[in-house]
Chains A and B, each alone.
Chain A
Amino acid sequence: MSRRMSWKSVTTEAKLLLIGIPLFLWTIIPVYHLFLFAISSKDSATSGRLWPKEPTLQNFSIVFHRQHFYLDHFWIQLWNSVLIAVSVAALTLFVATSAAFAISRLKVRGGRTVMNLALFTYFIPAAFLAVPMYKTMGNYGLLNSQWALILAMVTIASPYCIWVLKQASDKLPFELDEAARIDGASPLQLFRLVYLPLMVPSLVAVGTYALLLAWNEYLYAFLLLSNDTSITLAVALGNFLSADDSPWELLMATGLIYALPPAAIYYAFKRYMVGGLTAGAVKS
């Protein structure tokens, strides 16, 4: 009996490994290449070795000291990325939380329709909307302003965030609102003193989602911003490839640096992410 049990657990383990190992390689190999390039000297970068002969941190030094033509505005562009990502997260949180509160708790008439319409925008791929968005921003005179990218990203992130937050707030017992109303809370006080504190895990999840979405965005950033000092680092990275002789090792070093903050943020908020983004996914 115990032999069979252990046989069964071995096969379970084997099946998990069978799925796990390819998945792990699939994820890690590109990252490993990124890392490999970043610590190789220019000459050995494309040698095809699995570990460079003489690993070096020289590339990072070049990036941080902006010792290359493509890296002239490295710090400004990194700051742009931070500024835009944080602004998008903050604005999206404001829009999505207000909307979710109005739809789910205040039961505003037509709220569900608005949410469904917002979600409906996801039927059209974001890339198709890029040109209309460009034209719209042009009409508002926002082209080449970072507001254009911030507003565009908020537009793209909001429907999903509203939906996630609405599902999460539907789970809060409605008696809490009624108790607060009887206790004398106005809708704004209810929002601030009861709703927000209870929604923190979901807010962290949604905020992180919006932040990472904006941080990683390339297409819209590329379209809406053109000035070297106003583009994000993601766009700047793309510009590395505009020459025949691209400095791959610097591109990868910069890319690695650019990938670290999201990884750190994700790691810090991991416990909120998994719970928060799946909250309300299943009707309980």
Chain B
Amino acid sequence: MATVGFRNVQKTYGNKVKVLHGVSFDIQEGEFVVLVGPSGCGKSTLLRMLAGLEDITGGEIVIDGKVVNELESKDRDIAMVFQSYALYPHMTVGENMAFSLKLRKADAAFTSERVAKAAKILNLDQLLERHPRELSGGQRQRVAMGRAIVRDPKVFLFDEPLSNLDAKLRVAMRAEIKALHQRLKTTTVYVTHDQIEAMTMADRIVVMHDGIIEQIGTPLDLYDRPTNLFVAQFIGSPAMNVIEGTLRMPSNGAADTVVEAAGGARWPVPPQLGGRQGQAVHYGIRPGDIHIAPAGQGIAAKVIVVEPTGAETELLLQVGDAQIIVVIHGRTAALPDDTIHLAIDADKAHVFDSASGNRLG
């Protein structure tokens, strides 16, 4: 177990292409941190720099208080699980898991004990004699994790480990990785582009975009108080509804401030919002924070599509010029072309300055 620190870490390829513009954050001992962002945001590069597979152009990476910039991968005491598993095809499962200890010239009895222990944790006991080609995708992924566990490293690194699995297996492995972390409590850095993976697994999430950090926080922090439009739209599924509009403050800062959208709809905002009269804003409201109101009250909306999923119903609605998605619990009698009325949890609305994308209030 160890702490990890990034201090103004930068990465430039060649002399031109800058992929990381100075990234700084700290990871606590035993913490499960997920780096998430769209492809090309620099998250994998950052992980590979931590692993020692990429040079560090600028700044410092610190593991357990020690700057590791110049250390070889093997001397950083980290273990990594790759998207493609990267199992050695010519070795059995047992040999794959024992490889790192063999290279360290560990005692044979010690090695086999560690391999057996890891195999037991991951349910691989029966497969130790098999070759990777004889395993299913999920089993291979577990062997890759086993190879990491056997080392008992300071830090686990996961680089999109579930991307090659089908949807059902992905959910199962997600839970398995989380359970593994709760059991071993090893500091873990996990890279994914899938925000649901990030939300479900992380102690803290680092949202990255275009080589900078957009926001760091617990999953629910990010969900409840995204600091900017990017995070707001990236985190949450279905994604947050975002409507362009103008801030209307009848008596500067008063409680009846609204965002007026094109087409005339007036969206309620949370109290103590700040901002100024006439400011161009993006108004955000999550699909689950909108409810159906009794007829005649709230905002009128026209039903376009109804998508029942059993426990919930997803509605695609037209409000003024904007289309929004509403998720309601249970079922609805609404049909396409009906007009329904919406009540908004104003406390849960988010307002962002259109120019900067930053949160108001």
Contacts and interface: CB of A to CB of B under 8 A. Distances in A.
A178 B147 CA distance: 14
A197 interface: yes
Contacts of A175: 82-84, 86
A180 B51 CA distance: 12
A148 B100 CA distance: 44
A183 B84 contact: no
16 contacts: A173-B86, A175-B82, A176-B88, A178-B53, A178-B73, A178-B80, A178-B82, A179-B88, A182-B52, A182-B73, A182-B74, A182-B78, A184-B74, A184-B104, A197-B90, A198-B89
Interface in B84-107: 84, 86-90, 99-100, 103-104
Contacts of A194: 88
Nearest to B151: A183
B79 interface: yes
Interface of A: 173, 175-176, 178-185, 189, 193-194, 197-198
Contacts of B72: 181
Contacts of B89: 198
Contacts of A181: 52-53, 72-74
A181 B51 CA distance: 10
Interface of B: 51-53, 72-74, 78-80, 82-84, 86-90, 99-100, 103-104, 147, 151
A197 B84 CA distance: 20
A176 B99 CA distance: 12
Given A176-B86, A194-B88, A197-B90, A182 B103 contact: no
B82 A179 contact: yes
A5 to B, nearest CB: 38
A178 B47 CA distance: 13
Contacts of A185: 74, 103
Q: Which secondary structure characterizes the binding site on chain A?
A: helix
A182 B84 contact: no
A181 B53 CA distance: 9
A182 B79 contact: yes
Contact of A183 (B53, B90, B99): B99
A276 B74 CA distance: 33
A109 to B, nearest CB: 14
B86 A178 contact: yes
A243 to B, nearest CB: 55
A182 B90 contact: no
Contacts of B86: 173, 175-176, 178-179
Contacts of A173: 84, 86
B88 A182 contact: no
Most buried by B among A173, A183, A189, A197: A183
B104 A182 contact: no
Given A175-B86, A185-B74, 10 more contacts: A176-B86, A176-B88, A178-B86, A179-B86, A180-B88, A183-B100, A183-B151, A184-B100, A184-B103, A193-B99
B82 A183 contact: no
What 4 A-B pairs come out closest when comparing CB atoms?
A175-B86, A183-B100, A184-B74, A179-B86
